[in-house]
Structure 1
């Protein structure tokens, strides 16, 4: 997603750690060079660096304001060791014993407070850059072991149509090292309908789309021939089942 608090809108704000981090495997990130396309405010990017100690991870987003927030989050989290959004706080209680227990639980969470000697130097690992990944002429000289594209494909599709999706996949293929991992969380077609009127461009592209989200796997594995089945991770079902507030209509 490419607007502020996008993940907070879709995920329970009282959850300290983004639930997707729970299903990501250490071997996908530990000691790896990683790219997070559409990083938003950078909390997932930073959370991955802290939890799995990537060799490097670059977050890119089209929105300069979100990148500024991501860099602010990087400074805050480097100082406090707490990757949880500021809204995810322990509720006050008049029972001091209960309060103490709650604080202890939070400190033991994977992305709760981490002591300085355990915390990696995030400034050595994490960086952010504002750019339009689809249309950018920036020449990436580096390649990556793991590339993520979480809840971004819908916005690329609505703004740049089928050509934008194909360009996205081809660029990812060109940047992925042999044997690398591509993790994609595509939004379902039903969410496209909810956002097709955000602009005239989106409305026009929506009407012209021929490559539906359920075809992305086929495009990647058969048409682009970019990624082996063992290396392509799709989380569309996880998106719908685990990251949305049930019965709230919050999934975009």
Structure 2
């Protein structure tokens, strides 16, 4: 008889939780895995050219290296890293196939515009060189008039002058025509830049104009962006990895841990960290941006699984350091930034670097 009130209380709690979840579903459309389709619209201030997290990342973590971006969303920061830090390769993965489709579209747009700009510049340079060569030919013809036979030169002076004027007039028209073409090329280049800005809005419009370093081993800067960046749909938690899959020098896991935690619980979180360790080469690094615990409570009703896992979570974010160093086996963990400048409200989070 004494246990009956407790049983009734648990039933009431279950009913309340179920009713809360139902009301939550009615009120809003939500993304169970944090796979927001307008993520960068509110994550990055529209006045900024790039993701503010780029300011705290270091070039030596990416330059000439093979990288993996887990939970890449629409791929903006993935492409930005490839452009700014000249990585050898970078793979962006996300659980949402539609987001991967958008990422591929952005990549093609940015890469296509860059190639068009470079092609137009090269064409303009070639035309300038042709004009310079034509000018040298005119000088050579003028010098050929300075022969030793002055008598013959005087006798045919009128004929040569007339010929020279004709040649000069023809070359002049060629130069004017070339300059008009050059003007069109320059205008086309400027238009390409405008198109690029509009295609990525105010988020990372500078991507198509960024120049990557040519001093990287293997001349990474000369490789086509499409050869260095790729995107694929993948649920990293459900993939199987072994010690033979250590293929990456750098792995990014930015604002992902909460969604893994809510959907797969503590077991899923440990799997995430363990698999990252497995795919990293010895000496490789993990760039980690975990969400704070208070943000869990706001989103724990996105699904029944998330609501259940939320109440059973033991490993809260303040324990991640011990898990990563003691249980997973990372050698060191450094907080590279306590806060990220220019972050929008709710996204000013610490970022960590761990070394395998």
Same fold (TM over 0.5): yes
What do residues 83-138 of structure 1 show as CA deviations (whole Å, max 9, x unaligned)?
8973318xxxxxxxxxxxxxxxx99x6x4624799775111100111011001247
Q: Which residue, out of 321, 339, 343, partners 1:238?
A: 339
1:127 pairs with one of 230, 242, 265: 230
Q: Deviations over 1:8-49 (max 9, x none)?
A: 322212311111111111100000000000000001100000
CA offsets 1:196-222 (integer angstroms, 9 cap, x no match): 111111111100100001111111011
For structure 2, the 5+ residue unaligned runs are 1-33, 115-195, 215-220, 350-356
The answer to whether the Cα contact below 8 Å between 2:113 and 2:208 also exists between their aligned partners in 1 is: no
The answer to which of 26-35 and 74-83 deviates more is 74-83
Verify the 8 A CA contact 1:30 1:54 in the aligned structure 2: yes
Report deviation, 1:4: 1.3
> Which of 11, 36, 48 lines up with 1:15 in the alignment?
48
Provide closer, same or farther for how the CA distance between residues 114 and 84 of structure 1 changes in structure 2, counting only shifts above 3 A.
farther
What is the aligned residue count?
227
- Per the normalisation by structure 2, the TM-score is 0.58
Q: Which runs of 5+ in 1 are unaligned?
A: 90-105
Query: What is the correspondence of 1:60-139 to structure 2 with a 5 Å cutoff?
Result: 60-81=93-114, 86-88=200-202, 111=207, 113-114=209-210, 120-137=223-240
Q: Is the 1:147–1:183 contact (alpha carbons within 8 Å) kept by the matching residues of 2?
A: yes
| Alpha-carbon shift at residue 150 of structure 1 (Å) | 0.3
**TM-score computed with the length of structure 1 as normaliser:** 0.80
Q: How does 1:193-232 map to 2 (within 5 A)?
A: 193-225=297-329, 227-229=330-332, 232=333
Q: Aligned in 2, Cα 1:25/1:128: closer, same or farther, shift over 3 Å?
A: same
Shift in Å at residue 59 of structure 1?
0.6
Q: Is the 8 A contact 2:94 2:233 kept in 1?
A: yes
Residue 61 (structure 2) aligned to one of 28, 35, 45? 28
Q: Which residue of 2 aligns with 1:161?
A: 265
RMSD: 2.9
Q: CA deviation at 1:244?
A: 2.6
Partner residue of 2:289?
185
Structure having the larger proportion of residues in helix: 2
CA contact (8 A) 1:36 1:60 kept: yes
Residues in 2 aligned to 1:49 and 1:201: alpha-carbon distance in whole angstroms: 36
